[in-house]
Chains A and B, each alone.
Chain A
Amino acid sequence: QKEVEQNSGPLSVPEGAIASLNCTYSDRGSQSFFWYRQYSGKSPELIMFIYSNGDKEDGRFTAQLNKASQYVSLLIRDSQPSDSATYLCAVNGNNFNKFYFGSGTKLNVKP
């Protein structure tokens, strides 16, 4: 079982719609959860991080964490073509300090 799992996609949504990206993790003791956006050929760029159960909003982005179910999601409201990228979920392990990346979900926002 992989430490962090994501649907590879591609996920296609029309411009202006809500894009929903999901991630599950295996280490129940994980404390920190991150979403990175990566454009083709570029390095990962931090979008959001979340530590506590519930929702965290930042502009058009909302991260949701449910530790009981071991999943974390990212909602992108009013999706724009410029949001088209691969979104990487990352989780910081509990006892050790390992930073596990999911395989990423490719998002396509169609004009």
Chain B
Amino acid sequence: DTEVTQTPKHLVMGMTNKKSLKCEQHMGHRAMYWYKQKAKKPPELMFVYSYEKLSINESVPSRFSPECPNSSLLNLHLHALQPEDSALYLCASSHGITDTQYFGPGTRLTVL
């Protein structure tokens, strides 16, 4: 089973809202990732958790706040987003940080 699940599939929010994206995997992977993907562009790495510790933060604005409650779950908390933050947000996981990454289906976020 190489399934990574993400909820919600679609999210529309205003610039003053607070929302969270969720990601879950039950493959025993110890590395989890958040990517942002704009149309016709490759995924851009945002955050990496390795053994539940944040190991990479690619200078992402503070309006994005990651959280890894346990080895199976990854959240991305959103607050005061801008319209340019509208994108597909992808979660991925891998056994270790140098291993094959498996992607979830993504959350399509629209900020009004």
A interacts with B: yes
Q: Are A92 and B98 in contact (CB under 8 A)?
A: yes
Contact of B42 among A41, A46, A101 (CB under 8 A): A101
> Known contacts A44-B43, A88-B42, A99-B45; is A49 also within 8 Å of B100 by CB?
yes
Asked if B97 lies at the interface with its beta carbon under 8 angstroms from chain A, I say: yes
Asked if A43 lies at the interface with its beta carbon under 8 angstroms from chain B, I say: yes
Stretch of B62-70, B74-82, B102-110 with 4 or more beta carbons under 8 angstroms from chain A = B102-110
Most chain B Cβ neighbours within 10 Å, of A31, A32, A101, A104: A101
Residues of chain A with a CB closer than 8 A to B102's CB:
46
Residues of chain A with a CB closer than 8 A to B104's CB:
43
Q: Are B100 and A46 in contact (CB under 8 A)?
A: yes
Q: Are A42 and B105 in contact (CB under 8 A)?
A: yes
> How extensive is the interface on chain A, given as a class?
20 to 34
Q: How far is the CB of A51 from chain B (nearest CB, A)?
A: 10
Asked if A25 lies at the interface with its beta carbon under 8 angstroms from chain B, I say: no
> Known contacts A44-B90, A46-B100; is A98 also within 8 Å of B105 by CB?
no
B interface residues, Cβ below 8 angstroms from A: 33, 41-43, 45, 48, 50, 55-56, 88, 90, 97-106, 108
A interface residues, Cβ below 8 angstroms from B: 31-32, 34, 36, 41-46, 49, 88, 90, 92, 97-99, 101-104
Bound-complex Cα distance A46 to B100 (A): 8
Q: Are A98 and B45 in contact (CB under 8 A)?
A: yes
Q: How far is the CB of B25 from chain A (nearest CB, A)?
A: 13
Bound-complex Cα distance A45 to B43 (A): 12
- Minimum CB distance partner of A93 in chain B: B98
Residues of chain B with a CB closer than 8 A to A45's CB:
103
The 5 closest A-B pairs by CB, nearest first: A101-B42, A97-B97, A43-B103, A43-B106, A44-B103
